[in-house]
């Protein structure tokens, strides 16, 4: 798994996300995009241990594979990286 914070969904960023999804090597893998906004984003950054307190998107890239198929693991790791 890997995760990234994205300030806004520009056309370029959307294109990169779509490209990543198209290259997904297995139906066991996924991209998750979480919209982080609203009241949680208005809390001062020094008020909690979670300091990313601004409107943004969090994208997670998750890959899994069949442990009996080494090629699946290689493809999943390459895609996630």
CATH code for the structural domain at 2-80: 3.40.462.20
Residues 16-71: pLDDT tens digits? 999 999 999 988 899 999 998 888 788 887 888 777 778 889 999 999 998 898 89
Query: How many Cα atoms sit within 13 Å of 43 on the Cβ side?
Result: 12
What is residue 30's predicted lDDT score, i.e. its pLDDT?
A: 93
Rounded CA-CA distance 60/53 in Å is 18
d(CA 47, CA 27): 40
Q: What's the pLDDT score for residue 20?
A: 93
pTM confidence score: 0.76
Quote the pLDDT of residue 63: 92
Say how far residue 43 (Cα) sits from the centre of its chain: 23
Domain ranges of the chain: 2-80
């Amino acid at each position: 798994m890997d995760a990234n914070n994205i300030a806004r969904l520009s056309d370029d960023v959307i294109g990169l996300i779509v490209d990543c999804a198209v290259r997904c090597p297995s139906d066991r893998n996924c991209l998750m995009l979480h919209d982080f906004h609203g009241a949680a984003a208005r809390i001062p950054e020094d008020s909690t241990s979670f300091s990313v307190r601004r409107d943004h998107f969090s994208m997670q890239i998750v890959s899994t594979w069949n442990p009996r198929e080494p090629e699946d693991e290689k493809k999943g790791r390459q895609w996630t990286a």
